[in-house]
Structure 1
C-alpha cells in the first residue's frame, strides 16, 4: 500500500531539494533565497522498492496567523495532519534553532510518525548540528544530504516498517464485498474505463498577478489547498492538482502571475515565470484569467497570444464579476475589446465568473470541454475538398504575373490543434490574406471557433526521384537476350 510522506521544516533547510530527488524530477523550484515554496506540492516518490506520495511544504515560521507566513504555516500544519509520516528536517550546518524546538513540539502533538533528519550533513561541517538534533526529543536523527543523495539507505530502513504497518492496517479494515457484475458488467466496465483508463484533461490557469488563479482552483476542488491572499505574486511555481471536476477527470496547473518582461528582474520570479510557461506548453486547454476591474491589459494580451502560438485551446475567463456594478455595459465592452484586440482567437469563449463566490463555474467547465472538443476535431478529406471548391469559386486566388494559382487538394494533417495541408501551385506566391480567408472559412463552416488552426500550403512539383534515371540491364540478361529485361 502507498503512504504519504510530508517534508516539513524551517525555510531553506533543503526540503524542495530532497523532494526533487525523491520524485526523480526537478518539479519544485530551488533557490538559495529562503521561503521559495509557498504551496503544497505532491509527487510520486520512489525509494528502492517503496512507492509513496511525497508532499513538499512551505517553511515553518513563527508569524501571526493573518500574515502571509502565518497562512503558509497553517497550510503546512494541515499537510502534517493529513500525512501518514512526517520527515522533519533541520539544517545541520546551522544547528538546532529556537524555531526548530518549537515546531518539534507541534509535530509531536499532530502526527504519530515523525522522522527527524539533519540535512546538509555531508562531511564534517554538519557534525555538531547532527549531534544537537538529539536534543529535540524525536528519537535518533537521520544524517542526510538531499543535494548529494547521502543517507537514503537509512531513510529507506526507517520507512519500510512504517509502510508494512500501513499495508497491514489497510488489509484489516478493508471490507470483503461480493460483487456480482453479471447483469450490468458492460455498463460498469464502461464507466470505470472512461474514468480510470482515460488520461485527465490538462488545464493551465494563467494570468497576471492577483487575478485570482489560486482562488479559482480552490473553489473548484472545494478546499483551501492553494495559498491565497491580497498580496500579488503569492504563487511562485506551477502547482498541479488532479481531481474530478463534475464527472471529468482533470489535472489543473496553478501558475505564477506573469508580469511584463521588463519588470521581472528577480531571479526567483524569472524561474517562476519559466515554470508557468512550461505548464502552458504541456496543457491542452489554457484558461486565461482576467481581472474584471482591469481586463485586457497589455500583459493579458501577451499571455493569450502565447497560448495561441503554442497551439493550445483557449478559454478567456473574467474574474471578480461579483463586485462589478454595470454588468451588461461592462460585458458589451469586454466582447468588443476581445474581438478587436485578439483577432487570432476569434470565437473563443469569454466567460464571466467569480472565483470567490463560485458563480459561473458550470459555464466555465462547459466552455473548457467544448474548447477541448474543438481542439481535437477532425474533418474528412471529402468534406474538405467539397468545401475548398466552394471557397475557390466564391473567391478565386490571385493570378500573379497572369498565372492563376491553382488549389488542387486539401486534407487534415493533424489535430490538437487542427492542422490542414493544401496542395497548390506556386504556394510561395499565395498572399497571407488568402490563407486567413481559408482559416476563417474553416472556423465558420466546420464550427471551430476560437481554436488555433494551422494551414500549410504545399507544392506538387516535387519530382519523382526515379523519373530521369536510366534502367540498368544486368550483364547476364544482355548476354542471353541481347536486350533490356522487362521491368518487374
Structure 2
C-alpha cells in the first residue's frame, strides 16, 4: 500500500492546483473563485521516485455544520483518518489569516505529521507570508509555486523523512509478489460510472454501497462537481469478493441550461469519466420518470462505446402519490427506452433505492456480467458459421439488379466489440441490413445490449484510378 498524504487549507489557496501538479494531470477542477472542490479526490503522485496517494479536499470554512460549507469541512476532517501526512497549504501572497490560524490549531490536535506549504511564493511577493508561516508551529515551511512547479524538490525533502520508509516496504512487497500466478493479475477492478441528471441520487447511492458518507450529499442540486473515483470491494451474493472502482459524476442538465463556467467544466469532467469507465449506470429519478435529457445522456454513453445499464432510483417512493403505480412506471420507462434508443434495445433496467439498498446487489451482479459481454471475443470459425446462417436466412438485397456480395466477417476488437464485414458493392448495402447484422450479433452471439460496431470494407480495385 502507498502512503497517503492529505492536502488541507482554506478556500482558494491552490490546493487543487498542487494536487494536479503532483499527479501530473489536470484531474481536479481549478478556477479563480473559491470553493470549487467539494468532495475528496485521490490520485497517484510521484516526486523523484517517491510514490504516494495524494488527496485533494474541500476548502475549510468556518460555517454551521448543517450548511453545505459545513458539510464540506466535515468531509475534510474525516479525510485525516488513516492518513500518513498532511500538507497544510496557505497563500503566501495573502499572508496568514484568522482562518489559517484556526485550521492550524485544529491540526495541532491531530496525531499526524503536518508540513506547512506556502503556495504562490514565486518571486518575492510571497516572502512576508512565508516568514509568517514559521509561527504556525509546523517547522520550516516549504516555499512553493504549484502553478509553475517551483519548490517541488523542497517538498520532497520535507516528505521523505515521513513517508520514505513506505517505499522500501512496497519494493519488498513487489518482489515477494513477482512469483504470483499471472492469471491472478489479469482482471482489474470493474470501472463503474454513475451518471444522470442533477439530484438523481448518484452520490447517495455510492455512499449506500460504501456504507459510509464518503461523498457530499444534500437537498441542493448540483453538489458534485469533480468526478470522484473510489476503490471498493463488494461481496457478491455467492460470497466472492470483487474489486470495483466507483466513479461519481456531476449531474448533466440540458446544454442550453448550462451557462456557468464551473458547471461546464463539471459536465466535461463527467464526459471524461464516461470515457474512462467500462460500465455506466444511468440513474433516473422515480419521482420524475424518464426525460429527454436522460435519453441524450444514454445516447452519449452508447456513442462512446461503453456498456450501459439503467437504474430507477428512489424506488422506496414507488406507489406514493408522487410516483403513482410502480409497475406502470417501470414498464413505461422500459418501453420508452426501447423507442428512444433503437440502436440498443433491451438495456438492463433495475429498480433501486439508495435509501434502503433495494436492488443494488442485483445491479452490481449484472454490471459484471455485461462487462464480460463487452470484453468478449468470438472465435473466427464460430463467427463465420453464424454469418453464413444469417446470409442464408436473409440474403442481402440486389439494388438495381446489382448483386451485393458479403464474403466473410472478423472481430477486429473488444471493449466495445468491433466487427469488420468484407465484400463487394458494400456502399450500396442498406442501413436496414446493417441493423439486421448488428441485431443478429447481439442476439445470437451473446452480446445482449452491449453497443456493437460493424464496419463494412471492400477490397481496393487495382485497376481503379486514384
TM value normalised by structure 1: 0.87
How far the C-alpha of 1:162 sits from its partner, in A, is 1.5
How far the C-alpha of 1:189 sits from its partner, in A, is 5.4
Q: Map Cα deviations across residues 48-70 of structure 1 (whole Å, 9 max, x no partner).
A: 23221111110000011111111
Mapped to 1, the partners of 2:81 and 2:308 lie a distance apart of 38
Mapped to 1, the partners of 2:190 and 2:112 lie a distance apart of 37
The correspondence of residues 170-189 of structure 1 with structure 2, limited to 5 A, is: none
Q: Map Cα deviations across residues 252-300 of structure 1 (whole Å, 9 max, x no partner).
A: 2211111111111111111111111111112111111111122321111
Mapped to 2, the partners of 1:382 and 1:165 lie a distance apart of 54
Match of 1:234 in 2: 223
Mapped to 2, the partners of 1:198 and 1:391 lie a distance apart of 33
Deviates further, 417-426 or 74-83: 417-426
Mapped to 1, the partners of 2:136 and 2:245 lie a distance apart of 39
How far the C-alpha of 1:193 sits from its partner, in A, is 4.8
The correspondence of residues 327-406 of structure 1 with structure 2, limited to 5 A, is: 327-406=326-405
Match of 2:128 in 1: 128
How far the C-alpha of 1:394 sits from its partner, in A, is 2.7
Equivalent residue of 1:388, what SS?
A: helix
Mapped to 1, the partners of 2:372 and 2:463 lie a distance apart of 39
Change (3 A) 1:117 1:380: closer
Equivalent residue of 2:96, what SS?
A: coil
Equivalent residue of 1:259, what SS?
A: coil
Unaligned runs of at least 5 residues, structure 2 = 236-240, 320-324
Q: Map Cα deviations across residues 375-412 of structure 1 (whole Å, 9 max, x no partner).
A: 12222333333323332333222211112222222222
Deviates further, 212-221 or 13-22: 212-221
How far the C-alpha of 1:327 sits from its partner, in A, is 2.0
Equivalent residue of 1:251, what SS?
A: strand
Mapped to 2, the partners of 1:193 and 1:218 lie a distance apart of 32
- Give the conservation status (yes or no) of the 8 Å contact 2:84–2:163: no
Deviates further, 356-365 or 156-165: 156-165
How far the C-alpha of 1:208 sits from its partner, in A, is 0.9
Match of 1:429 in 2: 428
Residue 200 (structure 1) aligned with residue 194 (structure 2): no
Match of 1:417 in 2: 416
1:296 to 290, 296, 304: 290
How far the C-alpha of 1:464 sits from its partner, in A, is 8.9
Residue 209 (structure 1) aligned with residue 222 (structure 2): no
How far the C-alpha of 1:77 sits from its partner, in A, is 0.5
Equivalent residue of 2:109, what SS?
A: helix
How many pairs were matched up?
449
How far the C-alpha of 1:5 sits from its partner, in A, is 1.1
How far the C-alpha of 1:165 sits from its partner, in A, is 6.3
Structure 1 residue runs of 4 or more that deviate by more than 4 Å after TM superposition: 164-168
The correspondence of residues 124-163 of structure 1 with structure 2, limited to 5 A, is: 124-163=124-163
Match of 1:185 in 2: none
1:220 to 198, 209, 213: 209
Match of 1:479 in 2: none
Match of 2:322 in 1: none
Match of 1:482 in 2: none
Equivalent residue of 1:62, what SS?
A: coil
The correspondence of residues 215-294 of structure 1 with structure 2, limited to 5 A, is: 215-246=204-235, 247-294=241-288
Mapped to 1, the partners of 2:139 and 2:379 lie a distance apart of 68
Structure showing greater radius of gyration is 1
Change (3 A) 1:436 1:197: closer
TM value normalised by structure 2: 0.90
1:314 to 308, 312, 316: 308
How far the C-alpha of 1:349 sits from its partner, in A, is 0.5
Change (3 A) 1:165 1:281: closer
- Give the conservation status (yes or no) of the 8 Å contact 1:44–1:54: yes
Change (3 A) 1:163 1:421: closer
- Give the conservation status (yes or no) of the 8 Å contact 1:16–1:37: yes
Deviates further, 240-249 or 422-431: 240-249
Equivalent residue of 1:129, what SS?
A: helix
Equivalent residue of 1:422, what SS?
A: strand
Unaligned runs of at least 5 residues, structure 1 = 180-187, 466-488
Mapped to 1, the partners of 2:112 and 2:394 lie a distance apart of 75
Equivalent residue of 1:230, what SS?
A: coil
Mapped to 1, the partners of 2:153 and 2:6 lie a distance apart of 18
Change (3 A) 1:241 1:329: same
Change (3 A) 1:459 1:156: closer
Equivalent residue of 1:331, what SS?
A: helix
Change (3 A) 1:395 1:30: same
Q: Map Cα deviations across residues 55-106 of structure 1 (whole Å, 9 max, x no partner).
A: 1110000011111111100000011233221111111111111111111111
- Give the conservation status (yes or no) of the 8 Å contact 2:289–2:329: no
CA RMSD in angstroms, aligned pairs only: 2.4
